[in-house]
């Protein structure tokens, strides 16, 4: 990219302003509600998947299509939003305003909840996938608006802290979602195969009626809230035909690579040799889909450096590299948890049956909550001494909340008491990084690499602790990557936000790649995938700081000066 690209005047001046802008806490309090919904519904899929598997007599792959449909919707929704915007010559979300964008997204999720009720009672599994896709489509609209909205509600240089606050609420929803859904459907937190087999469809109908009602109430809250600014931007955007072509080609190629994977599941191998050959075949196509994304984005970045015309937000290298950053971050966050159950079933890891792994899964997702709670402390503008105190006490409170929630669920947490040592490592990371986004992302990515290598090199509880701590180090990555990626984009901010939300697609691609790799080299060794993901995030943190400095922006210096 030409380093002489001028930033939008308003965005540039806001980043360089001497005095920090006061956070609109009233508006932020309303905004974080939608963050809770995303975590609640996503985590609740873990309860819904076994129900669908039994009720519709699905195999394991078919049941996993629930997560695939959920994450795919983010990509499709963001792609549609982008294409409509560039064809009209004006950013659609900017024209609506962030507030209306969230309202429209919530209403779309209401439609999805209604479709889910109809699908459960009158249709089949395909209809359920469609309904869940529509719910997540609404979430993609909400995320495209909510992330930059949170950054806009105060000093842009401290926007990561506000997104962290939303992420903390999101993680709380992730932590309690499965428990609430289990109680609502089965009357207890311990779900057995017999309970799943005897589940009354009326309970599922009631559950999604409540979920749809909550979406509707949240939409009404946003409609009538006077605290929330409209968040509109009437600036026109240039035609980004080159970026559009890359995204369309990438989408077509992804479809082409996914078809053989899905089609191969009609084949039933008769011998172990045939099974191995089939798994290698699937792995090859899944790796091909990953290569498609990486190559397309690198191509965009390379071409935009030579001539920025027609690339829109993709002419900014921080955005293109950040798209890969979001892709790998979501991928590593999901894949660590998705493959954990299989890992814990190994003899060297305790040979744990599925019914006993809930505490470990809960601690992993709770680790994300711990980090995000701590990362959101600066939003409340405490004094330096109070902030230092809270950076120690808040993670410990978060750890206690996880233990308390599991106590209510009657889960045995005795094996995880010493995990508090990992929490103290994260606390040290917060003090070392000094709230500087690029430095924090780099440090926590390095911590992630070290943790995954320890996990790969050991067995038993030490290895389990190392893999679980990946949640602690992932916890602050989304807001850091997001804020650094859209820094200085000006009128392209919401377009860039849409591109970033597309890359939640990583949750659909990286976990299956690790799963298929596990079939070839073993589940323990397959965690090398997580090492590679953290390594890229460390590279992004190192590279983006230099990129932004060339454009006259220094997030780390601004944050340090503001506190």
Q: What is the pLDDT of residues 384-443, one digit of tens each?
A: 899 999 999 999 999 999 999 888 777 788 899 999 999 999 999 999 988 788 999 999
Q: Mean per-residue pLDDT for 234-256?
A: 82
Asked if 515 and 285 count as a contact pair (C-beta separation under 8 A), the reply is no
Does 560 score more than 60 pLDDT? no
pLDDT at 236: 63
Closest CA to 40 of 189, 203, 181: 181
More confident residue, 44 or 487: 487
CA distance 173 to 36: 5
Asked if 470 and 530 count as a contact pair (C-beta separation under 8 A), the reply is yes
For the packed helices 384-408 and 358-375, what is the interaxial angle rounded to 10 degrees?
160
pLDDT at 207: 79
Q: For 106-153, how does the pLDDT look when each residue is reduced to its tens digit (9 = 90+)?
A: 899 999 989 988 988 887 788 888 988 998 898 888 877 877 777 777
Buried b / exposed e across 285-318, counting CB within 10 Å, b at 16+? Answer: bbebbbebbeebbeebbebbeeebebbbbbbbbb
3 state DSSP class of 56: coil
Q: Could you tell me the two tokens for 117? A: 């009720």
3 state DSSP class of 90: strand
pTM of the predicted model, to two decimals? 0.80
Q: Please report which confidence band the pLDDT of residue 158 belongs to, taking 50, 70 and 90 as the band edges.
A: low
**Contacts by 462-467, CB closer than 8 A, 24 or more apart:** 463/349, 463/524, 464/344, 464/349, 464/360, 465/418, 465/419, 465/421, 465/422, 467/336, 467/340, 467/343, 467/527, 467/530
| Cβ neighbours for 519, distance < 8 A, ≥ 6 positions apart | 276, 279, 283
- The fraction of the chain above a pLDDT of 70, given in percent, is 82
């Amino acid at each position: 990219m030409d380093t002489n690209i001028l930033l939008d005047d308003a965005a540039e001046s806001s980043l360089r302003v001497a005095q920090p802008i006061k956070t609109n806490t009233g508006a932020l309090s309303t905004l974080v509600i939608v963050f809770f919904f995303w975590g609640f519904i996503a985590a609740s899929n873990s309860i819904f998947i076994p129900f669908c598997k039994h009720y519709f007599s699905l195999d394991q792959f078919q049941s996993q299509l629930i997560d695939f449909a959920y994450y795919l919707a983010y990509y499709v929704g963001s792609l549609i939003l982008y294409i409509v915007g560039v064809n009209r010559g004006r950013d659609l979300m900017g024209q609506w305003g962030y507030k209306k964008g969230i309202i429209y997204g919530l209403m779309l999720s209401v439609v999805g909840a209604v479709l889910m009720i109809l699908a459960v009672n009158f249709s089949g599994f395909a209809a359920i996938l469609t309904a869940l896709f529509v719910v997540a489509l609404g979430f993609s609209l909400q995320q495209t608006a909510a992330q930059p909205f949170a950054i806009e509600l105060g000093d842009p240089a401290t926007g990561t802290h506000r997104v962290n606050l939303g992420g903390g609420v999101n993680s709380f929803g992730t932590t309690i979602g499965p428990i609430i859904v289990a109680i609502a459907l089965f009357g207890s937190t311990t779900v057995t195969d017999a309970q799943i087999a005897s589940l009354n469809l009326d309970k599922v109908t009631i559950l999604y009626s409540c979920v749809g009602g909550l979406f509707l109430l949240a939409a009404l809250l946003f409609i009538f809230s006077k605290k929330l600014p409209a968040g509109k931007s009437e600036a026109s955007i240039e035609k980004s035909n080159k970026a559009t072509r890359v995204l369309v080609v990438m989408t077509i190629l992804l479809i082409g690579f996914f078809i053989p994977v899905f089609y191969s599941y009609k084949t039933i191998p008769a011998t172990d040799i045939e099974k191995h050959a089939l798994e290698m075949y699937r792995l090859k196509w899944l790796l091909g889909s990953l290569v498609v994304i990486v190559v397309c984005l690198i191509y965009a970045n390379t071409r935009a450096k030579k001539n920025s015309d027609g690339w829109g937000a993709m002419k900014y290298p921080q955005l293109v590299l950040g798209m890969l950053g979001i892709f790998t971050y979501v991928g590593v966050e999901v894949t660590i948890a998705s493959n954990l159950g299989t890992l814990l079933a190994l003899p060297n890891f305790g040979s744990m049956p599925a019914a006993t792994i809930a505490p470990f899964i809960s601690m992993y997702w709770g680790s994300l909550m711990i980090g995000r709670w701590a990362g959101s402390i600066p939003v409340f503008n405490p004094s330096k001494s109070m902030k230092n105190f809270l950076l120690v006490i808040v993670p410990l409170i978060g750890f206690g909340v996880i233990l308390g929630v599991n106590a209510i669920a009657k889960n045995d947490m005795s094996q995880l008491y010493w995990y508090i040592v990992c929490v103290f490592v994260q606390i040290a990371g917060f003090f070392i990084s000094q709230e500087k986004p690029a430095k924090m992302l780099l440090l926590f990515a390095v911590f992630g690499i070290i943790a995954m290598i320890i996990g790969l090199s050991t067995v038993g509880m030490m290895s389990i602790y190392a893999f679980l701590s990946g949640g602690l180090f992932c916890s602050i990555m989304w807001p850091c990557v997001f804020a650094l990626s859209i820094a200085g984009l000006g009128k392209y901010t919401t377009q860039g936000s849409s591109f970033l939300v597309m890359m939640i697609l990583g949750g659909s691609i990286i976990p299956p790649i690790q799963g298929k790799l596990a079939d070839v080299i073993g589940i323990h060794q397959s965690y090398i995938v997580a090492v590679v993901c953290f390594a890229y995030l460390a590279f992004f943190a190192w590279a983006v700081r230099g990129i932004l400095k060339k454009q006259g922006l220094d997030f780390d210096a601004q944050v340090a000066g503001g506190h």
